[in-house]
Amino acid sequence: MSPEEIFMLRALELAELGKGRVSPNPMVGCVIVHDGQIIGEGYHEVYGGPHAEPNAINSVKNPILIPESTVYVTLEPCAHWGKTPPCANLLVEKKVKKVVIGTLDSNPLVGGKGAQILKDAGIEVTSGVLDRRVREQNKRFFTFMEKKRPYIILKWAQTKDGFIARENYDSKWISNPYSRQLVHRWRSEEDAIMVGTLTAKYDNPQLNVREWEGKNPVRIVVDRNLTLDRDLHLFDQSQLTLCYNQVKEEKSDNLEHVKLPSGFNIREILDDLYQRKIQSLIVEGGAQLLNKFIQENLWDEARVFTGQVQFGKGIPAPKTQGSILDEMDIMGDLLTITRPIY
Ligand code: AOF
Ligand code: ZN
């Protein structure tokens, strides 16, 4: 690793400390280096609060050194007046010598403009140091900004012989209590969760976070023909988004509606989520809905549990064969498939 990469790695590590508290903003870290020594560090700590750069600048004990220093920042310094003044202007004001950027910002308010402000002020600027790592760290933010849809995680549990449920849609006892707890943790990490009609009907899930500390995601059910029984757990008093094709629909305080004019179109649902600034979505089945996401090539990650049981026959688990994959990782009975975000 080059010294540049080592300092950027430290900035990445600092950025990670903002995890869970800065969304929908990206996690950003910043390190200030003078003569090979770190003299200041900071990160974006909380949504609405100061960005990484002012925090790092303010941490420097001897500000006289700043004009002779290099600033390592994981994301291009911002150029806009948002909740705080532009970070690029701050770095110009402080007369820093050089700025090393992890990756450029995809936010249309910033993209390239921050780097330009620095260059125009005569500051040496380089970018693209550990950019893959930065993009990976903020995969939800970059996917949302660039693809204008949430980052999509598909999740299912399959039997050893490749079934997701029995022929009567019963899917009990494929996974174990540990995987279930992990799933609750995952739910707490994403903005929204979605299931299809048959899963809502036969699994009767609540789609909230119970076996982990954390926030509940926005719950979404696709029920094209409005056939779901209102006694199901999903129709309890908490907020639910219902996606459907039919015209008739009764009004209710806790139900939001996404009417799909042109048949069953995933993109239309995603457009609605984009408008609502939902940056990530976990899809928990069933096979039909998961296959639809795969067929339309609208997914970024799949998390697949494989249980020890065999059903012999039933509903086949989705297959991701033929898709462009970035990485596959097996840990115990969990297979994680990641797709490139480039
Ligand atoms: C930076 N440093 O630490 C972060 C940046 O709503 P605001 O005003 O906080 O602005 C959010 C946008 O600023 C966000 O969408 C992203 O483009 C950029 N985030 N920029 O220079 C930081 N967190
Ligand atoms: Zn900023």
What would the mean pLDDT of 185-191 be, rounded to a whole number? 95
Which element (helix H / strand E) includes 195? strand 192-195
Tokens at 70, concatenated: 């290099």
Convert 214-279 into a string of H (helix), E (strand) and C (coil): CCCCEEEEECCCCCCCCCCHHHCCCCEEEEECCCCCCCCCCEEEEECCCCCCHHHHHHHHHHCCCC
Q: Is domain 149-340 in CATH 3.40.430.10, yes or no?
A: yes
Per-residue pLDDT, 212: 92
Greater confidence (224 vs 45) lies with 45
Cα 52 to ligand 2 centroid, rounded to whole Å: 7
What is the C-alpha to C-alpha distance for residues 20 and 184, in angstroms, rounded to an integer? Answer: 15
Ligand 1 atom 12: the closest Cα is on which residue?
25
Q: What is the pLDDT of residue 224?
A: 86
CB-based pocket (< 6 A), ligand 1 = 25-26, 28, 44, 51-53, 75, 77-78, 82-84, 87, 105, 107, 110
User: How do residues 290-329 score in pLDDT, each as one tens digit?
Assistant: 999 999 999 999 999 999 999 999 999 999 988 888 889 9
pLDDT at residue 7 greater than cutoff 80:
yes
Name the residue of 25, 103, 143 whose CB sits within 8 Å of the most ligand 1 atoms, as the mutation to test its pocket. Answer: 25
Query: Within its chain, how far is the Cα of 8 from the centroid?
Result: 22
pLDDT tops 80 at residue 252: no
Looking at residue 236, what is its pLDDT? 87
CA–CA dist 164, 82 (Å, integer):
46
| Interatomic CA distance for residues 88 and 114, integer angstroms | 5
- CB 32, CB 70: distance < 8 Å: yes
Among 334, 315, 290, residue whose Cα is nearest residue 180: 334
Q: Domain 3-143: give its CATH code.
A: 3.40.140.10
Mean pLDDT within 88-102:
97
Q: Specify whether the CB–CB gap between 331 and 167 falls below 8 A.
A: no
Comparing 323 with 188, the larger pLDDT belongs to 188
> Taking the alpha carbons of 247, 250, 253, 254 in that order, is the dihedral positive or negative?
negative
Q: For residues 8 and 3, give the distance between their C-alpha atoms in angstroms, rounded to a whole number.
A: 9
Q: Is the ipTM of this complex over 0.95?
A: no
Q: Which sequence spans correspond to the domains of the chain?
A: 3-143, 149-340
What is residue 248's predicted lDDT score, i.e. its pLDDT?
A: 63
Distance (Å) from CA 194 to ligand 2 centroid: 33
Do 3-143 and 149-340 have matching folds? no
Q: Does pLDDT of 178 surpass 80?
A: yes
Span 70-93, mean pLDDT? 94
Q: How confident is the model at residue 225 (pLDDT cuts 50, 70, 90)?
A: confident
Share of the chain above pLDDT 90, in %: 76
Q: What does the pLDDT read at residue 241? A: 87
When pLDDT is averaged across residues 36-54 and rounded to a whole number, the result is 97
Cβ atoms of 208 and 216 within 8 Å: the answer is yes
DSSP 82-103: SSS--HHHHHHHTT-SEEEEEE
Contact 53, 81 (CB under 8 A): no
Residues 295/232/215/298 CA torsion (nearest 10 deg):
10
Q: What mean pLDDT is predicted for residues 116-132? A: 97
Angle at 74 between CA 71 and CA 79, to 5 degrees: 75
pLDDT of residue 170: 87
Residues 6+ apart with CB under 8 A from 122: none
In a 13 Å sphere around the CA of 277, the CA atoms on its Cβ side amount to: 3
Indicate if the pLDDT at residue 65 is higher than 80.
yes
74-88, 207-221, 254-268, 275-289: which has the minimum mean pLDDT?
254-268
For position 275, what pLDDT does the model report?
94
Q: Binding residue per annotation — 78?
A: yes
Nearest CA to 217 out of 179, 189, 182, 236 is that of 189
Higher pLDDT, 138 or 264: 138
| Closest C-alpha to ligand 1, atom 2 | 51
Q: Which residue's CA is the closest to the ligand 1 atom numbered 11?
A: 25
Residue 342: pLDDT band with limits 50, 70, 90: low
Confidence band, pLDDT 50/70/90 cuts, at residue 217: very high
